[in-house]
Structure 1
Amino acid sequence: MQRVCFLLKVRQERLDEYRARHADVWPRMREALSAAGWHNYSLFLREDGLLVGYLETEDFDRARAAMDGTEVNARWQAEMAGFFEELDGVAPDAAMVPLTEVFHLP
């Protein structure tokens, strides 16, 4: 199982709305993530907008590609794009660059 951690930056003025959107993620989006192989997916948000994401999957590239092929993800990404800083026209999913794991205690 591959463990993936990534960072993004949520715009300060949209933190409350970002939290509200994630308190009620669309059921079809949740189903699509699970079907695409995203497991133990968590997002952590710091007060300055730093967003830390974590997920487990067999193959991150394949799991991301599976989501890219869904209509629900295209809608979700379009709605979420305006929440993030420094994406320069890149969809939030495409900006999820995995961090290098340097330690793990199983």
Structure 2
Amino acid sequence: MHRVCFTLQVRKDRMEEYAERHAAVWPDMLQALHDTGWHDYSLFLRDDGLLVGYLETPDLAAAQAGMARTDVNARWQAEMAEFFEDLDLPPDQGFWQLTEVFHLEDQLAALSTPPPAAAPAAHPTDTAQDQ
């Protein structure tokens, strides 16, 4: 599963309404997100309008393409576009994706994985004929 984190900037004068809209997302939008591979999806809004999104998906491009094929997404993106600053694309395509530089579970798993077993060394008394 690929972890994705992104940012957008919500207009300060629209933050309250933006949060209200996301408190009751349309059921068909929720189902479309789930069905097209948007899992563990969360949005976080800072008091200056910085929006941080996080999701897990097998393939972000496929998840975006799947949503682009739905009517509900076209309606939702059209309504949400007015909430953002400096956005030339629909919000689900115009976000700034962040590069992951640390993930606790990955590093813990790497620590607990034993190194691959080395091939046994030949005994010093072995000769080419014995092998």
CA distance in 1, matches of 2:59, 2:95: 14
What letter corresponds to residue 92 of structure 1 in structure 2?
P
Q: How does 1:1-106 map to 2 (within 5 A)?
A: 1-88=1-88, 90-106=89-105
Q: How many Å apart are 1:41 and its aligned residue?
A: 0.1
- What is the Cα-based RMSD across aligned positions, in Å? 0.6
CA distance in 2, matches of 1:2, 1:97: 16
The percent of aligned pairs where both chains have the same amino acid is 65
CA distance in 2, matches of 1:74, 1:63: 14
What letter corresponds to residue 104 of structure 1 in structure 2?
H
Q: TM-score, normalising length from structure 1?
A: 0.97
What letter corresponds to residue 72 of structure 1 in structure 2?
V
Query: Which position in structure 1 is the counterpart of 2:117?
Result: none
After superposition, give the CA deviation of every residue in 1:82-102 in whole Å (9 maximum; x if it has no partner): 0000103x1101112321111
Q: How many Å apart are 1:42 and its aligned residue?
A: 0.1
Structure 1: where are the runs of 5+ without partners? none
Q: TM-score, normalising length from structure 2?
A: 0.79
Count the aligned residue pairs: 105
Report runs of 4+ in structure 1 exceeding 4 Å deviation: none
After superposition, give the CA deviation of every residue in 1:16-48 in whole Å (9 maximum; x if it has no partner): 000000000000000000000100000000000
What letter corresponds to residue 94 of structure 1 in structure 2?
Q
Structure 2: where are the runs of 5+ without partners? 106-131
> More relative contact order in 1 or in 2 (CA 8 Å, sep 6+)?
1
SS of the aligned residue for 2:104 comes to: coil
